[in-house]
Amino acid sequence: MADANSRSGQTYFTGPILDWCDRTHAPHDEALQYAFDAPVRAGMPPIHVAASEGKLLELMLRMVGAKRVVELGTLAGYSALRLARALPDDGKVWTVEFDEQHAAVAKDVIAKAGLTKKIEVCLGRGVDVLPTLEAHGPFCAVFIDADKESYDVYGRWAAKHVRRGGLLLGDNSFLFTNLLDDTPRAAVMRRFHEEARAHFDTVNVPTPDGLLVGLKR
């Protein structure tokens, strides 16, 4: 159920509730914990998805029988591990990262998890790397968690290269409360929403900063 307060934006979870739910539904094994802690160890911003959000990504990929996945925004590789674990043995994740340090940390995380055959870290700007991946398509899912200024470009690429019945997943779709601002960055994110709706059956899941979910028509 919902009420007027929750429909207007109030939430009923707290830090302790989220922690309990993470432990109950999305516990970490050694490899996932190593990946989750990697940004702090390496002096990187710990801005990857939370444990339950990572588990949600994993479950959604399983639901559509995903095999070939593109991720934009690797950071330290935590979400790439989650994505890869949803795939069959011959599945693959191509994860794109602009920052060389982040990519190096992610490669270490992926190696320690034993997933180097299933995850390829592609170094470079998303707009430059994506055309080089097209020969591997069509893809079963595209997960976007990268530079917000390019979400509309990434969404258009996904619309062309995700198979029918495949997924578009866009994190931070509330743009840190700034989605409705009168700024170029917010306009890009709104375009991402609107153009995704034109090609996918979409919903915006109210995770802490929003997760756009689209199923390709």
- Edge to edge, the sheet with strand 68-72 lists 119-123, 92-97, 68-72, 139-144, 162-171, 211-216, 200-205
The answer to whether residue 53 scores a pLDDT higher than 80 is: yes
pLDDT digits (tens, 9 = 90+) for 107-116: 999 999 999 9
Please count the other Cβ atoms lying within 10 Å of the Cβ belonging to residue 209. Answer: 15
pLDDT digits (tens, 9 = 90+) for 6-49: 888 889 899 999 999 999 999 999 999 999 999 999 999 999 99
Give the chain's mean pLDDT: 97
State the distance between the two ends of the chain, measured CA to CA, in whole angstroms.
Answer: 29
The predicted structure's pLDDT at residue 6? 85
Distance CA 15, CA 9 (A): 17
The predicted structure's pLDDT at residue 5? 86
**Structural domains present in the chain:** 13-216 (3.40.50.150)
The predicted structure's pLDDT at residue 3? 87
Average pLDDT over residues 1-6: 82
* Whole-model pTM over 0.75: yes
Confidence of residue 1 (pLDDT cuts 50, 70, 90): low
Strand partners, 141: 69, 167
The predicted structure's pLDDT at residue 167? 98
Q: The dihedral of CA 126, 205, 82, 166: what is its sign? A: negative
